[in-house]
Chain A
Amino acid sequence: QVQLLQSGPGLVKPSQTLSLTCAISGDSVSRSSAAWNWIRQSPSRGLEWLGRTYYGSQWYYDYAESVKSRITIKPDTAKNQFSLQLTSVTPEDTAVYYCVRDSPRKGSDFWGQGTLVTVSS
């Protein structure tokens, strides 16, 4: 059974960088038929897909236009995990952040436990 375990701080100051990590068990970050996503959820924006990485002879990355200039998703094959960095955060980035496995057949089939990240001084 696939499990995704998130870690990272729950409080980030405005203008700083939000950093979260998602450790994968039961699957491999470099398996070619899966994509590894970050999705966030807030009352004002609902469920918002932020981006993904996946491996297919090379690493690929897709990012939402709304955060494209500020986001980096990185795989770490040695630790079998992937990470999210979101720079220059504002209070509007306050949300519950989820790491999610995406399969071509089923969509978002496994979710991390969620991390509430609050942007506040």
Chain B
Amino acid sequence: QKEVEQDPGPLSVPEGAIVSLNCTYSNSAFQYFMWYRQYSRKGPELLMYTYSSGNKEDGRFTAQVDKSSKYISLFIRDSQPSDSATYLCAMNVGGSNYKLTFGKGTLLTVNP
């Protein structure tokens, strides 16, 4: 079993839809959870950063962490065509350890 599992999609939604992206993980030592957005042939861009169970909201984005289930989610409200990209979940054990373990990424297309 891989440490981080993420459905690669692709996921196609109409503009304005609510998008739900998910990852599961097996390593209970992971304490910090991130969501990155990556456009084609570009470096990942940090979207959300959380370290506790619960929800964190930033504009149209909401990150949700359930450590008991080892499950994290990213919700995108009122999705826009500009949100079309690959979304990667990432996590690490925290502290001074910045080594991230990534999911495969989910390719999202928002159709106008």
Do A and B pair up? The answer is no
